[in-house]
Amino acid sequence: MVSHDILIVGGGLAGLAAALTADPKLNVAVLSKVHPIRSHSVAAQGGINAALANHPNAKDDTWEKHAFDTIKGSDYLADQDAAELMCQLAIPTMYELDHWGVPFSRFPGGVIAQRPFGGAGYPRTCYAADRTGQVLLHTLYEQCIRKNVTIYDEIVVTNIVVRDGRCVGLVAYDLATGEIRPFAAKAVIFGTGGYGRIYKLSTNAYINFGSGIGMAYRAGIPLKDLEFVQFHPTALYGKNILITEAARGEGGYLVNNKGRRFMEDYAPTAMELAPRDIVARSITTEILKGNGFENAYVHLDLRHLGREKIEKRLPGIQEICINFSGIDPADTPIPIQPAQHYSMGGIDVDKNCASLVKGFYAAGECACVSVHGANRLGGNSLLDAIVFGKIAGVSASKFINEGGFAGPRDAEITAEAKTLTDQFESIRKRDKGHNVYQLLNDLKILMGDKAGIFRDGKQLQEGLDGLSGLKEASRDSYIYGSCTRFCQEFVTLIEFKYMTDLAETILLGGLKRTETRGSHFRTDFPKRDDDNWLKHTLASYSDKGPVLSYREVNVDKYKPQERKY
């Protein structure tokens, strides 16, 4: 039995930020599926928002204006007090990151450089060329090493152990040894990221199956607003690699097969820098109208920016295009299409990152505070992860220091680990059944077809019907190999039940929400309905499927109005 005061699951920005702000007197450890600097946070490219007012066109920017842009971008589903908290803390957080050693790009005079991003009234996105997530993650990891934070990598957490309404530990699969291991803790923080890999077209890393969200769900913690799935407008066609919003922030054009900047038909003021939900739908509409190339993609044209600017501001994008598509964006337009990118919904937590289960906290993409509502603005995800990761570390520490932990439950955690070990052995003894990778591929196709950018009631119901067959088939999945070490089939099999849980919640929540709001576009209910649907969807686990309930949105200063861009 391994015991720590605080166990943090996830080695990305949310998890490492939590580790850095937890009480140093407590025994803190991070469990990560991969080495921390390979976490998905490293893939974030364009920047992180804060109203520093460094840009010449943003001298009067304030955190209040940042909060309004966030709330408006969310299509008014964000809890306004939470959005205000995030935007207010963004400014001191940026200076703290600067002092920790993040190598931000700079304006003359040495101040942190900022660029325009979609849905923002001011250029407030701080950046490090187009590798912002990478430098943030590396810096936070270095700080964790400096502070001697214990890190277990290549550990796949499989179960949360809850007794008497309190989280007392975890069960995990150790990839290197092939063993099922029990971990005891006084408090647990999840920073496990999103679920993008339940979709066929996704910019997410291959580790992003959403199992952390699914574990919390099965442990009795509600999920919030899972029907809101963000599709990034610009993924490299055929490869689904993210092409950062910074490419448009620096002045890139979206062009159809007629050579026309078509965004003037959909967002005539903001053009390419409208919120992501609007841009993604606009691109998809152009393709459906026959204005795409090969009826599959449109062009993102950077050629007019010039080679010097591209090589300075967007070197990562240039490298991706050359290596994966054989084109140089300084000479050739980039073929792009929308792809699943982010989950606005997640584990239901409050502003302190606390959940319904005592001692369990969550932050970052796996959590729903809610600051993103129905649509996240670019540049707010890295901010959300770091700000609320830090809050989670403080909250968990306070919980322990104020006597919230009720005492060790080692025997029960060990028993849970024994149950999973027996399950693993039982699966390994099977010599026939369904291939879990084929089931996963079928799930990805189903979600793309039935819960994509455009949805209707018929599609969503068909998705639910098809999902029930996949869940049934998964019960007799089996593992081909005999080796227990680094057995990715076992990882996928364990996580598949969580993936189907999330898919079911997305489909059912989307079916019941008979309106269009942010990323959730119902072609059969194309208008936003504030009278009936200005509320959060909560999904609680049961053996018969999600049990839905609803909660009012915290509407404080800003009354819902029509979004115009």
Task: Tell me the pLDDT band of 406, cut-offs 50, 70 and 90.
Answer: confident
Task: Tally the C-alpha atoms within 13 A of residue 284's C-alpha that lie toward its C-beta.
Answer: 17
In this predicted structure, the answer to whether residue 430 has a pLDDT above a threshold of 90 is no
In this predicted structure, the answer to whether residue 482 has a pLDDT above a threshold of 90 is no
- What is residue 233's predicted lDDT score, i.e. its pLDDT? 96
In this predicted structure, the answer to whether residue 299 has a pLDDT above a threshold of 90 is yes
Q: What's the rounded Cα separation, in Å, for the pair 75 and 82? A: 15
In this predicted structure, the answer to whether residue 380 has a pLDDT above a threshold of 90 is yes
- Of 212-226, 249-263, 478-492, which range is least confident? 478-492
Mean pLDDT of 500-509: 98
Residue in the block written with tokens 């009826």: 295
- What is residue 168's predicted lDDT score, i.e. its pLDDT? 94
The answer to whether residues 13 and 36 touch, using CB atoms and an 8 Å cutoff, is no
Q: What's the rounded Cα separation, in Å, for the pair 379 and 140? A: 18
The answer to whether residues 132 and 8 touch, using CB atoms and an 8 Å cutoff, is no
- What is residue 424's predicted lDDT score, i.e. its pLDDT? 84
In this predicted structure, the answer to whether residue 404 has a pLDDT above a threshold of 90 is no
Strand partners, 152: 31
% the chain with pLDDT above 70: 100
Q: What's the rounded Cα separation, in Å, for the pair 203 and 45? A: 12
- What is residue 302's predicted lDDT score, i.e. its pLDDT? 97
Q: Which two tokens stand for residue 37?
A: 């600097």
pLDDT digits (tens, 9 = 90+) for 48-105: 999 999 999 999 999 999 999 999 999 999 999 999 999 999 999 999 999 999 999 9
Task: Tell me the pLDDT band of 192, cut-offs 50, 70 and 90.
Answer: very high
Residue in the block written with tokens 């002045």: 251
The closest of 135, 136, 90, 127 to 107, measured between CA atoms, is: 127
Highest mean pLDDT among 447-451, 471-475, 493-497: 447-451
Please state whether the peptide bond connecting residue 32 to the residue before it is cis, i.e. omega within 30 degrees of 0.
no
Mean pLDDT of 232-251: 95
Task: Tell me the pLDDT band of 431, cut-offs 50, 70 and 90.
Answer: confident
Of 3.20.20.70, 3.90.700.10, 3.20.110.20, 3.30.1330.40, which CATH number belongs to 235-341? 3.90.700.10
Angle between the N-to-C axes of helices 488-512 and 211-218, in degrees from 0 to 180, rounded to the nearest 10? 70
Q: What's the rounded Cα separation, in Å, for the pair 67 and 376? A: 12
Q: What's the rounded Cα separation, in Å, for the pair 339 and 233? A: 7
For the 423-542 domain, the top CATH level (class) is mainly alpha
Q: What's the rounded Cα separation, in Å, for the pair 19 and 30? A: 7
Residue in the block written with tokens 């049934």: 472
Phi, psi of 57, deg, nearest 5: -95, 15
Task: Tell me the pLDDT band of 477, cut-offs 50, 70 and 90.
Answer: confident
354 or 556: which leads in pLDDT: 354
% the chain with pLDDT above 90: 91
Q: How many CB atoms lie within 10 A of CB 200?
A: 18
220 or 478: which leads in pLDDT: 220
276 flagged as catalytic: yes
Catalytic entry in 248, 276, 513, 528: 276
- What single letter denotes the amino acid at residue 543? D
- What is residue 1's predicted lDDT score, i.e. its pLDDT? 85
pLDDT digits (tens, 9 = 90+) for 116-133: 999 999 999 999 999 999
Q: Which two tokens stand for residue 529?
A: 């309905």
Task: Tell me the pLDDT band of 426, cut-offs 50, 70 and 90.
Answer: confident
Q: Where are the domains of the chain?
A: 235-341, 423-542
Structural element, H or E, at residue 539: strand 535-540
- One DSSP character per residue, 42-94 reads GG--S-EE-----STT-TT--HHHHHHHHHHHTTT-S-HHHHHHHHHHHHHHH
Q: How far is CA 356 from CA 218, 319, 365, in A?
A: 13, 45, 18
The closest of 67, 182, 191, 185 to 122, measured between CA atoms, is: 67
Averaged confidence pLDDT in the chain: 95
Sign of CA dihedral 146, 151, 154, 158: negative
In this predicted structure, the answer to whether residue 538 has a pLDDT above a threshold of 90 is yes
**How many residues can be counted in the chain?**
565
- Of 175-189, 335-349, 414-428, which range is least confident? 414-428
SS3 119: coil
Task: Tell me the pLDDT band of 342, cut-offs 50, 70 and 90.
Answer: very high
- What is residue 279's predicted lDDT score, i.e. its pLDDT? 96
- What single letter denotes the amino acid at residue 106? R
- Of 36-45, 369-378, 405-414, 441-450, which range is least confident? 405-414
In this predicted structure, the answer to whether residue 525 has a pLDDT above a threshold of 80 is yes
- What is residue 177's predicted lDDT score, i.e. its pLDDT? 93
